[in-house]
Chains A and B, each alone.
Chain A
């Protein structure tokens, strides 16, 4: 096998030479971010792989395959914390798969009309703007409640965004208990949410974590941590399905996936453990930052500024990674010190 330097690796299928420490770093970063937010991170891996030298079709396929493996690592860790509600995940999964197929059919229709690119991008931006507005409203509302509570006002009856309470009143059988998430509701509620996010994910060509995580919190009523874990469980299954179909199209670089998974194995632990030391509101805040960056990068791409978009995404991802790393380290040292002090 031909090799120019130790840090360059030949990718046998795509036929390009790649700086492999860069792959490990990308895997690590997406592991941290994905473990913390419960999403695949396709929006950041694809441009990163493209910048490292993969042709775009290979960047997308390799990204999907890597996300399946990385989500598996993070789901195992989240399951230990009790963050994964498997009945809820399975209930949503069936509807999500049907939704993804319908979304993909819609894309084929738009492709036949020749307008798929801009339509998908602008709809994506629209949805990200809605999620941004929703999370911002929630954060501002909860901050206000905290402030008023500090000033001594009675805030016992006030909450942030709680649309799920209205949806939980829907008593259409079968009613199901979701023990980890801590509520009982009609199967149709997570089903409809799974279907809707599936259609969008299939239509937009993404894993859907960015849409499903807030939908689980605001529409289904999951605590933030359980939403993160359950979402990762879904990303894992749909990622494996996506990896298989992309492989049949011949656009996956398996060697790159393996190298990236080495970084993701460590990163996913850090991201997941950091959720233990972070408040739900903190997770939502940093999620909102990623949403804004993703939205801006899509707009930049629409106007032909793909390089600036890639640099912006990677810059902010590095910054958010450092923040999550800090949360994890500070929390872990504090816990170990407390254990030492109590002799535990």
Chain B
């Protein structure tokens, strides 16, 4: 009896996982749609990056990584400088599990 319930549970799980996709009525996935930034509403640096996004996505990808790295490390060291002025010991801690 126990084995029967285990099998029934396994069968119901498979049905639950498979049925929604078998009866899915929608069309194909929209992942391949090309997205274009609307540059009519942009100016200055926003316009520069929006144009780059539309025209050279590889360069935009490289810029994204550079900007994130620069901002992440910049903010990290700037906050480190400010935190050092709070008077807290921020270089060591006691280990207590």
Instruction: Tell me if A69 and B50 are in contact (CB < 8 A).
Output: no
Instruction: Tell me if B96 and A280 are in contact (CB < 8 A).
Output: yes
Interface flags for A1-23 (1: CB within 8 Å of B; 0: not) read 11000000010110100000000
Instruction: Tell me if B72 and A82 are in contact (CB < 8 A).
Output: no
**Interface size bracket, A side:** 35 or more
Instruction: Tell me if A265 and B78 are in contact (CB < 8 A).
Output: yes
Contacting residues, chain A, for B43 (C-beta < 8 A): 1
Instruction: Tell me if B78 and A240 are in contact (CB < 8 A).
Output: no
Interface flags for B27-69 (1: CB within 8 Å of A; 0: not) read 0000100110111011100110110010001101110110111
Contacting residues, chain B, for A335 (C-beta < 8 A): 88-89
Q: Which of B46, B77, B93 contacts A12 (CB 8 A)?
A: B46
Instruction: Tell me if A69 and B72 are in contact (CB < 8 A).
Output: yes
Count chain B residues whose beta carbon lies closer than 8 angstroms to a beta carbon of A.
Answer: 53
Q: Which of B18, B41, B50, B71 contacts A258 (CB 8 A)?
A: B71
Residue in A closest to B20 when the chains form the complex, CB atoms: A118
Most buried by B among A13, A57, A254, A339: A13
Contacting residues, chain B, for A1 (C-beta < 8 A): 41-43, 46
CA–CA, A309 to B97, complex, Å? 33
Segment 260-296 of A: residues with Cβ below 8 Å from B: 261-262, 264-266, 268-269, 273, 275-276, 279-281
Query: Are A76 and B77 also in contact (CB < 8 A) when A10-B41, A247-B61, A254-B67 are?
Result: yes
Instruction: Tell me if A243 and B68 are in contact (CB < 8 A).
Output: yes
CA–CA, A152 to B34, complex, Å? 69
Most buried by A among B68, B89, B90, B92: B68
Contacting residues, chain A, for B49 (C-beta < 8 A): 12, 254
Instruction: Tell me if A223 and B93 are in contact (CB < 8 A).
Output: no
Instruction: Tell me if B21 and A273 are in contact (CB < 8 A).
Output: no
CA–CA, A276 to B60, complex, Å? 39
Contacting residues, chain A, for B62 (C-beta < 8 A): 244
CA–CA, A279 to B86, complex, Å? 22
In the assembled complex, how far is the CB of residue B17 from the closest CB belonging to chain A, in whole angstroms?
5
Instruction: Tell me if B75 and A115 are in contact (CB < 8 A).
Output: no
Check B83 for interface membership: any CB of A closer than 8 A: yes
Instruction: Tell me if A114 and B21 are in contact (CB < 8 A).
Output: yes
Contacting residues, chain B, for A261 (C-beta < 8 A): 68, 71-72, 75
CA–CA, A264 to B78, complex, Å? 13
Check A122 for interface membership: any CB of B closer than 8 A: yes
Interface flags for B10-24 (1: CB within 8 Å of A; 0: not) read 000100111011101
In the assembled complex, how far is the CB of residue B25 from the closest CB belonging to chain A, in whole angstroms?
13
CA–CA, A107 to B47, complex, Å? 36
Instruction: Tell me if B75 and A73 are in contact (CB < 8 A).
Output: yes
Residue in B closest to A239 when the chains form the complex, CB atoms: B68
In the assembled complex, how far is the CB of residue B50 from the closest CB belonging to chain A, in whole angstroms?
5
B-binding residues in A (CB < 8 A): 1-2, 10, 12-13, 15, 57, 65, 68-77, 80-82, 114-115, 117-119, 122, 142, 223-225, 236, 240, 243-244, 247-248, 250-252, 254-255, 257-258, 261-262, 264-266, 268-269, 273, 275-276, 279-281, 332, 335-336, 339
The 10 tightest CB contacts between A and B, nearest first, are A72-B72, A76-B76, A69-B72, A265-B75, A247-B61, A280-B97, A73-B76, A276-B93, A69-B68, A12-B50
